[in-house]
Amino acid sequence: MPNNTVEMIRALVATGVLRPIPPGRLLRLVTEARRWGPTAAAAAATSAVRHPREPAVVDEAGTLDWETLDRRTNAITHGLQALGIGEDDVVGVLCRNHRGFVEASIVASKLGADAVLLNTGFSGPQLGDVARREGVTVLVHDQDFAAEVAGSGLEEQVARFVAWEQPGRAVEGDPGAGGVPTFDDLARSVHTDAPPAPQRHSNVVILSSGTTGTPKGTRRTIDRTSARGGAKGSPLGILARIPLRARARTLISAPLFHSWGLSHMMVAGLLSSPMVLRVRFDAEDVLATIERERVDTLIAVPAMLQRILDLPADVRARYDTSSLRVVALSGSALPGGLAIRWMDAFGDTLYSLYGSTEVAGVAVAGPADLRAAPDTAGPVLPGIDVRILREDGTEAAVGEAGGIYVRSSMVFDGYTGGGSKQVVDGYMSTGDVGRLDRAGRLFIGGREDDMIVSGGENVFPQEVEEVILRHPGVREAVVVGVPDEQFGQRLAALVVPEETGAPTPDEVRQWVRDNLARHKVPRTVELADDLPRNPTGKVLRRVVAERLGGAADGNAG
């Protein structure tokens, strides 16, 4: 038996998923798993068999148990089928974190329709452009996205359904008042039995983050012919390195439309874990929710932890977070200083995953890894193959930097609009530069296309950012390249200082000069209150570069 398969079995036993089951219930589990395949519908249906009356979703509208969630999505599916919606449709999901997103994902699976997860930060025109490009025919959205839908030009082109009406809050231009049916309307169907299994399993299209341009749709399937086993690269690999537990309350603060949030929605179904969801992220509300719901696991992006740590110490001290056992992060680079600050404040609970929408999860750094090397991405996940390649395609030596290439069974089928990532001998480029140390830990140097060439010298901005972040008066920092007539490009830094001990721009430059080579010192340093980010927490480097591109050399403040 392959080693990664053994590790997967051990992980499933440790989580509590694999345990003795009565024969009758086991038969029902197998039936539901075969009916729906590797989809959100299977996760809900099998959890409804295992733990029907236990909580599935806890949000501002209350609590749904697994059986109610399964029956409710059966009814919604029947309602949509009665309207002629089925396997040939493409369901666009424009929802924040609440039961409506979960239900829309399950319903698309039960219909056999593909689902396109739309960014809740889209403007109306961008929503229309992406939805038309992806062939969306059915749009499921929150009540308070009425203005964006109206500005998208989609109202006459798609069938629309409202998945979420904010409890106790009237919204101007309420789409429900305009005759748009809601999921609650569809759920009133008397048919709550399982609909017929579709002829095909639905796919999920996740949009790339779009930090440098229009988001691209990515479609992924599981390669069942992989010689290393079907768990290779799947969400099961996460369980081997992040100690999640079955039926443990999980607060998913990362956006569900993002691959990190979505993967934990799927894992929660596998583990029958209650998903605690909040429509909007608020740092203090996260702490209050952890205390109130006795949350075991927090799923977040690094910027969210930064916001929590930015709360005054007396505010953080008001809440009992002792139930919190795991904090799982992904979505953007984890500054080493942030990891140490979090663990010093909340204990050694931190697990940081490196991956991307295109290649899925690659490596996880746990508390011991982060204490030993705060800037590491951690050891590579079981069943994942990683190569570090030089520009000529040859394999780099241990400790030598090069392009990161990944092979796993989570096959990225290419962007829905055409194109793909570079592939070398079955290994797909992540677009990042990195290195492996002798302990097998992966370190990320930055994006290949972020490399700055200044006066003929190559500089990866993440190295400079890590140095700036070690300054005790700096909270956040981003380094970019901007045009320069003399050097081609020059380094520029946008720095968010701490409230006390804030350095001047000259002091930041001197700090870098004391720690790195001269050509890595930013010629422009500007102080700011915060960094521009997209909804998943990634810094918008293009926006920073536009802001700093016109700043005068050496005297920006």
Q: Which residues are CB-neighbours of 454 under 8 A, at least 6 positions away? A: 481, 484, 487, 488, 489, 490, 491, 519
> For 174-321, where are the alpha helices, taking DSSP H only?
183-186, 236-239, 259-271, 283-293, 302-310, 313-316
Instruction: Write the CA distances from 220 to 50, 332, 382, 412, integer angstroms.
Output: 28, 21, 19, 5
In the sheet where 138-142 sits, what is the strand order? Answer: 159-164, 138-142, 90-94, 114-117, 204-207, 217-222, 410-415
Q: So where are the chain's domains? A: 38-202, 236-449, 451-548
Q: Confidence band (pLDDT; 50, 70, 90) for 25?
A: confident
Q: Confidence band (pLDDT; 50, 70, 90) for 286?
A: very high
Other C-beta atoms closer than 10 Å to the C-beta of 410 total 21
Minimum mean pLDDT range among 51-60, 162-171, 527-536: 162-171
Examine the pLDDT at 231 and tell me if it is beyond 50.
Answer: no
Q: Which residues pair with 204 in a beta bridge?
A: 115
Tokens of 371: 């204490």
Minimum mean pLDDT range among 16-20, 116-120, 338-342, 532-536: 16-20
Which pLDDT value is given to residue 225? 38
Half-sphere exposure of 299 (CA within 13 A, CB side): 33
d(CA 481, CA 544) in angstroms, rounded, equals: 10
Instruction: Write the CA distances from 239 to 14, 41, 52, 382, integer angstroms.
Output: 9, 21, 23, 10
**Most confident range, picked from 93-102, 170-179, 459-468:** 93-102
Which pLDDT value is given to residue 528? 94
What is the CATH architecture of 451-548? Answer: 2-Layer Sandwich (3.30)
- Same fold yes or no, 38-202 and 451-548: no
Which pLDDT value is given to residue 392? 86
Contact 250, 268 (CB under 8 A): yes
Which pLDDT value is given to residue 100? 97
Q: Confidence band (pLDDT; 50, 70, 90) for 17?
A: low
Handedness of CA 311, 494, 335, 274 (dihedral sign): positive
d(CA 111, CA 109) in angstroms, rounded, equals: 5
Examine the pLDDT at 220 and tell me if it is beyond 80.
Answer: no
pLDDT tens-place string over residues 88-136: 999 999 999 999 999 999 999 999 999 999 999 888 998 999 999 999 9
pLDDT tens-place string over residues 55-64: 999 999 999 9
Handedness of CA 284, 285, 291, 296 (dihedral sign): negative
pLDDT tens-place string over residues 416-451: 665 567 888 888 888 888 999 999 999 988 777 777
What is the CATH architecture of 38-202? Answer: 3-Layer(aba) Sandwich (3.40)
* CA nearest neighbour of 214 among 134, 139, 328: 134
pLDDT tens-place string over residues 387-407: 999 988 899 999 998 999 998
**Average pLDDT score over residue span 214-243:** 57
d(CA 422, CA 358) in angstroms, rounded, equals: 11
Contact 242, 326 (CB under 8 A): yes
Q: How many residues does the chain have?
A: 557
d(CA 293, CA 156) in angstroms, rounded, equals: 42
CATH of 236-449, one of 3.40.50.2000, 1.10.150.120, 3.40.50.200, 3.40.50.12780: 3.40.50.12780
Examine the pLDDT at 351 and tell me if it is beyond 80.
Answer: yes
Examine the pLDDT at 84 and tell me if it is beyond 50.
Answer: yes
d(CA 291, CA 369) in angstroms, rounded, equals: 28
Other C-beta atoms closer than 10 Å to the C-beta of 453 total 12
Q: Which residues are CB-neighbours of 76 under 8 A, at least 6 positions away? A: 103, 107, 183, 186, 187, 189
